Chains A and B, each alone.
Chain A
Amino acid sequence: MLLKDSARFAFHAINAHRMRSFLTLLGIAVGIAAVILLTSIGEGVHQFVLSEFTQFGTNVIGIAPGKVKTGGQPPSGIPTTARLLTMEDAQSLKQLPQVTAASPMVWGNSEVEGNGRLRRSTIYGVDADFTHVFSAKVQIGSSLPREGEGSSRAFVVLGSKLRNELFGNKNPLGARVRIGGLHFRVIGVMAPKGQFLGIDLDDTAYIPAQRAMELYNREGLTKIHVIYAEGASSTTVAEAVRKRLTLRHGHEDFTITTQEDMLNTLSNILDVLTMAVGALGGISLLVGGVGIVTIMTISVAERTNEVGLLMALGARRSTVLGLFLSESVILAAVGGAFGLLLGAGLAQTLRFALPKLPVHTPWSFAVGAILMSAVIGLLAGVMPARSAARLDPIEALRAE
């Protein structure tokens, strides 16, 4: 029997019971729709989170003071002498091969007063390299001056939002602002940058790190960010950073996190999340599959006579098996296609209704959904189809 004819015969049989076939494939459709919708949301969140983190570029290595270890007092009673990260450490890292920028960072929250207005903003203590770390551009004026040109002079570069809030349309360049108890002169304004995980990156002020340590009464840096050349290996650069700082500090009293490691970890977590919600949808798919088993079992019982006849007319057992398998595969695949439309449609609707919720349906999911439903049809059909193929033709012909 030709494959085309098997499919046509199976389709005919499905069509002969339109209502119950429709309800059966609806079970699969709802399952596939649930999987598509949930994984689309999962994938959307995945892409959203990753893009949030990669907006600073992916070739970043972060160094934080202290090594992740058991906290509290050492049992000996002698305090550990973990050295702080210093401006000199940052300067030293700038000299490493492949490293294109290294910016110290100290941050805090302070009131900023200028043009007679007052606003609480995030203050970043940085150096001239900070534009690399934030992948940000100076819109007007200039960035903080480099080391040796007086990097700790009381200059400030304003984030675009802070500038608007304090100065409106007035030219802020050269104006004096007070941050906490210190006075600064505005030398530049950053281009708008947007948000990072809900934090406004424009409601900021960038001042020299030395000044920020003064402001927040800190002796060391909160962090150092190292940017390396595109194409360089993150592990090589991280290793070089580790060697240099260990040499300077005497031992490893800092923690290195490469952006690449972090993104990979994050991506893995998000993948697991997507799979988990997909598995949740898979439960309804399972129910749909059971529906197919049920309806095919009923169908075989109803058509016992027909099976006997087909065998009397010269059908092989494998032909009978193929006919019933085609039937369940067609049911499931049509249900899958239907569910795909339903799921993708719901995902699109969700995108319009809740533009904030990231939803993304990749093509691979669509193809996967159809394949998955066909496989479900195959699995669901095996048991009933085998029982049909194993029927004794004489008994089958006598059944009534």
Chain B
Amino acid sequence: MADASPSLISLLGIERTFLLGDSKVHALRDVNLQITPGEYIAVMGPSGSGKSTLLNMIGLLDRPDAGTYLLENRDVTTLEPDELAKVRSERIGFIFQSFHLVPRLTAAANIELPLILSGMPAGERSKRVAQALKEYGLNERANHRPNELSGGQRQRVAIARATILRPAVLLADEPTGNLDRATGEEVVRLLEALNAQGMTLIVVTHDQALGARAKRQIRMEDGAVVSDVMNSTGTHP
């Protein structure tokens, strides 16, 4: 990673504390991170170490109590809520452990959601959705509701939904946590393929083997980044 690389994400002295009753929980302490476009990062660490909080911060679902966050060289800590929503819609893709599919909507309708929210006209939407269904091998399942899909299929729908607007960053919080090993493997390969196409990928995981596949590994403990290493044995050169 040369210093000349343009910065995608720049976190400077990020602090985040939560109030739990009377006690303060320091979820993020003085986090400093530089992330360039196209990186593949695994965030690891024990439960409660602040991994999800970090991901939510990067995904603009949360605001830091202190510090600066530059996304594509733009200070996003001061943006209005509607501007944040627009940035989330256009630049960020979320993937969750529990998939978060809308149960009453079909696979196709779930994938279509970000397009609808962005105000895209119906004609353009159906083209994009058809394309995504094909790419993720979900053609047969297009009109099935989430409860009629397997775990792997659900996560594929969620990935298709997260990437349909071609975000710059894909944030996956334990994406394989609810899947068996083989299915999890399949999902990770899918994410890695997206990373290979240039999408920045940040994955939170408990799985050492999975984490080892990433080019860069960040370890967190008690809200602080305790190690940040480049892995020469990453799957991607």
Q: A1-B119, A310-B113, A311-B61 are in contact. Are A316 and B102 (CB under 8 A)?
A: no
Closest partner residue, chain B, to A4 (CB atom): B122
A314 sits at the interface (CB 8 A): yes
Closest partner residue, chain A, to B87 (CB atom): A314
When each residue 293-335 of chain A gets 1 if its CB lies under 8 Å from chain B and 0 otherwise, what string results?
0000000000001101111111111110000000000000000
* Residues of the B chain whose Cβ atoms lie less than 8 Å from the Cβ of A13: 104
The number of inter-chain residue pairs (CB within 8 angstroms) is 64
Cross-chain pairs A/B with CB under 8 angstroms, 13 sampled: A1-B117, A1-B118, A2-B121, A9-B116, A12-B105, A13-B104, A311-B88, A312-B59, A312-B61, A313-B88, A314-B88, A314-B90, A319-B85
Closest partner residue, chain A, to B105 (CB atom): A12
Do residues A1 and B116 form an inter-chain contact, with CB atoms below 8 A? yes
Do residues B86 and A314 form an inter-chain contact, with CB atoms below 8 A? yes
When each residue 242-255 of chain A gets 1 if its CB lies under 8 Å from chain B and 0 otherwise, what string results?
00000000000000
Closest partner residue, chain B, to A318 (CB atom): B82
The smallest beta-carbon distance between B118 and chain A, in angstroms, is: 7
- In the docked arrangement, what's the CA distance between A2 and B86, Å? 15
Do residues A314 and B118 form an inter-chain contact, with CB atoms below 8 A? yes
B114 sits at the interface (CB 8 A): yes
Question: B40-74: which residues lie under 8 A (CB-CB) from chain A?
Answer: 56, 59, 61-62
A149 sits at the interface (CB 8 A): no
B81 sits at the interface (CB 8 A): yes
Query: Interface of B with A (CB < 8 Å)?
Result: 56, 59, 61-62, 81-82, 85-86, 88-90, 92, 94, 96, 100, 102, 104-105, 113-114, 116-119, 121-122, 161
- In the docked arrangement, what's the CA distance between A252 and B86, Å? 81
- In the docked arrangement, what's the CA distance between A12 and B145, Å? 13
Do residues B161 and A313 form an inter-chain contact, with CB atoms below 8 A? yes
A393 sits at the interface (CB 8 A): yes
- In the docked arrangement, what's the CA distance between A315 and B102, Å? 14
Contact of B62 among A305, A309, A394 (CB under 8 A): A394
Do residues A313 and B62 form an inter-chain contact, with CB atoms below 8 A? no
- In the docked arrangement, what's the CA distance between A308 and B100, Å? 9
Closest partner residue, chain B, to A17 (CB atom): B104
The smallest beta-carbon distance between A144 and chain B, in angstroms, is: 80
The smallest beta-carbon distance between A388 and chain B, in angstroms, is: 14
Do residues B102 and A309 form an inter-chain contact, with CB atoms below 8 A? yes
When each residue 1-29 of chain A gets 1 if its CB lies under 8 Å from chain B and 0 otherwise, what string results?
11001000100110010000000000000
Do residues B105 and A312 form an inter-chain contact, with CB atoms below 8 A? no
The smallest beta-carbon distance between B173 and chain A, in angstroms, is: 9
* Residues of the B chain whose Cβ atoms lie less than 8 Å from the Cβ of A317: 81-82, 85
Do residues B104 and A16 form an inter-chain contact, with CB atoms below 8 A? yes
Do residues A313 and B82 form an inter-chain contact, with CB atoms below 8 A? no
- In the docked arrangement, what's the CA distance between A311 and B88, Å? 9
Q: A306-B102, A393-B61 are in contact. Are A312 and B116 (CB under 8 A)?
A: no
A375 sits at the interface (CB 8 A): no
Q: A1-B116, A9-B116, A305-B100 are in contact. Are A316 and B81 (CB under 8 A)?
A: yes
Contact of A397 among B92, B96, B114, B116 (CB under 8 A): B96
- In the docked arrangement, what's the CA distance between A394 and B63, Å? 11
Contact of A312 among B86, B88, B121 (CB under 8 A): B88
Do residues B85 and A5 form an inter-chain contact, with CB atoms below 8 A? no
Do residues A314 and B117 form an inter-chain contact, with CB atoms below 8 A? yes
* Residues of the B chain whose Cβ atoms lie less than 8 Å from the Cβ of A394: 56, 61-62
Do residues B102 and A313 form an inter-chain contact, with CB atoms below 8 A? no
- In the docked arrangement, what's the CA distance between A2 and B115, Å? 11
* Residues of the A chain whose Cβ atoms lie less than 8 Å from the Cβ of B86: 314
* Residues of the A chain whose Cβ atoms lie less than 8 Å from the Cβ of B122: 5
* Residues of the B chain whose Cβ atoms lie less than 8 Å from the Cβ of A316: 81-82, 85
* Residues of the A chain whose Cβ atoms lie less than 8 Å from the Cβ of B102: 306, 309
* Residues of the B chain whose Cβ atoms lie less than 8 Å from the Cβ of A397: 61, 96, 100
10 A-B pairs with the lowest CB-CB distances in the bound complex, closest first:
A314-B89, A16-B104, A314-B88, A316-B85, A309-B100, A312-B94, A393-B61, A313-B114, A5-B116, A315-B117
- In the docked arrangement, what's the CA distance between A12 and B85, Å? 24
Contact of A314 among B100, B104, B114 (CB under 8 A): B114
- In the docked arrangement, what's the CA distance between A207 and B86, Å? 90
Contact of B89 among A16, A305, A309, A313 (CB under 8 A): A313
Q: Name the residue in B61, B81, B161 with the highest tally of chain A Cβ atoms < 10 Å from its Cβ.
A: B61
The smallest beta-carbon distance between B100 and chain A, in angstroms, is: 5
Do residues B59 and A313 form an inter-chain contact, with CB atoms below 8 A? no
- In the docked arrangement, what's the CA distance between A319 and B82, Å? 10
* Residues of the A chain whose Cβ atoms lie less than 8 Å from the Cβ of B56: 394
Closest partner residue, chain B, to A398 (CB atom): B52
- In the docked arrangement, what's the CA distance between A318 and B86, Å? 13
The smallest beta-carbon distance between B73 and chain A, in angstroms, is: 21
Closest partner residue, chain B, to A306 (CB atom): B102
Closest partner residue, chain B, to A315 (CB atom): B117
Q: Name the residue in A5, A305, A318, A319 with the highest tally of chain B Cβ atoms < 10 Å from its Cβ.
A: A5
* Residues of the B chain whose Cβ atoms lie less than 8 Å from the Cβ of A306: 102
The smallest beta-carbon distance between B160 and chain A, in angstroms, is: 13
- In the docked arrangement, what's the CA distance between A318 and B83, Å? 12
With A2-B116, A308-B100, A397-B96 given, name 15 new contacts (CB 8 A). Answer: A9-B116, A312-B88, A312-B100, A313-B88, A313-B114, A314-B85, A314-B92, A314-B114, A316-B81, A316-B82, A317-B81, A393-B61, A394-B56, A394-B62, A397-B100
- In the docked arrangement, what's the CA distance between A367 and B40, Å? 60
Q: A13-B104, A305-B100 are in contact. Are A311 and B85 (CB under 8 A)?
A: yes
The smallest beta-carbon distance between B63 and chain A, in angstroms, is: 11
* Residues of the A chain whose Cβ atoms lie less than 8 Å from the Cβ of B92: 314
The smallest beta-carbon distance between A386 and chain B, in angstroms, is: 14
Contact of A310 among B62, B104, B117 (CB under 8 A): B117
* Residues of the A chain whose Cβ atoms lie less than 8 Å from the Cβ of B113: 310, 313
